[in-house]
Structures are given as structure tokens and as C-alpha cells.
Amino acid sequence: MKRRIARENAFIAAFEASFNANSIEEIVAASREQDEYAVDAYGEALLANFYAHSAEVDDLIKARLKDWTLARLPRVNAAILRLAVTEMRFNGSDDMDSIVINEAVELAKKYAGEEDYQFINGVLGAISREAHSAKADEPAGPADSASEEA
């Protein structure tokens, strides 16, 4: 399954989960029974990472919401933001931010309100820029120092 489809299916499962308190296992099993929106291994890992890091993910989002609270966001937007932030920060690939943001914007265009994609793009862009500027400010570690000397 392509990552785009895996992300979309994980989003659909996360959106559904926002209406009930089923476990991640129940959500994935139900999606696989329906087959049309089956969550694959990548989507399952994404959902599991969100559940494992939900407080951190929500804190990252809340810090970028101006005059809004996470509870006031439409469920579609919250689900898109949560999965995108999870993938950007907790799925192991720092160099994937632009792809993840683009995919989140596409999901917003398909499922969210008419101009919500701009909001999604702005929040995710701010999170990505801040993370990359924080990494640029980190002092060089021992491995970095050795490569600079060579």
C-alpha cells in the first residue's frame, strides 16, 4: 500500500476514534474488516505512535494555536494535525516533514472545510521550522566534531 493511502486510512481510523473510546487494536481490526479503508502496518504504527505520544503531540499543536484551543478545532482538523505531527516527530524520519505536510494539506482539501488546508499548513509549517531551527542550534556532538576535523 502506498504511504499516501496508508496515511489517509490511518486518518479515517483516527477520526472515527475521536467519536468513541475504542482501543487502537479495535480500530485497526475494524478498519481491516471493512477492507476499503484498511489500516496497514505503516498506518498502525502511526496510530500506535500517536496514542503513545498523544500528550506531547497535543502540546506541540496547542502551542501554535492562536486564539484557539484544541477542543474547539473541528475533529477532522484535529485528526489531521495529530497524525501529521506524530509522523513528523515520532516516526523516525526528520527529512520527511515537507512530504508529511503536503499529504496533510491534501487530506484537509479532501475532508476538511474549504480553507482549512491553509490553517493545517500554517500549524505544521511552524512546528517543522521550530524543530529544524532547534536542531541547527544544537552544539556539534563527538561524531560531528570528528567529521569536521577530517
Give CA separation, 41 vs 8, 10, 25, 44, 94, in Å: 13, 10, 12, 5, 20
With left for phi above 0 and alpha for psi between -120 and 50, is residue 47 left, alpha or beta? alpha
Q: What is the pLDDT of residue 123?
A: 96
Residue 38 has pLDDT above 70, yes or no: yes
Mean residue pLDDT of the chain comes to 86
Residue 21 has pLDDT above 80, yes or no: no
Contact (Cβ atoms closer than 8 angstroms) between residue 84 and residue 101:
yes
Q: What does the block give as the cell for 122?
A: 500554517
Query: Which residue ranges make up each domain of the chain?
Result: 3-133
Q: pTM for the complete prediction?
A: 0.85
Instruction: Report d(CA 130, CA 90) in Å as an integer.
Output: 15
Mean pLDDT over residues 42-48, rounded? 92
Residue 141 has pLDDT above 90, yes or no: no
Residue 101 has pLDDT above 80, yes or no: yes
Residue 16 has pLDDT above 90, yes or no: no
Class of domain 3-133: mainly alpha
Q: What does the block give as the cell for 12?
A: 479515517
Residue 145 has pLDDT above 50, yes or no: no
pLDDT band at 148 (very low <50, low <70, confident <90, very high): very low
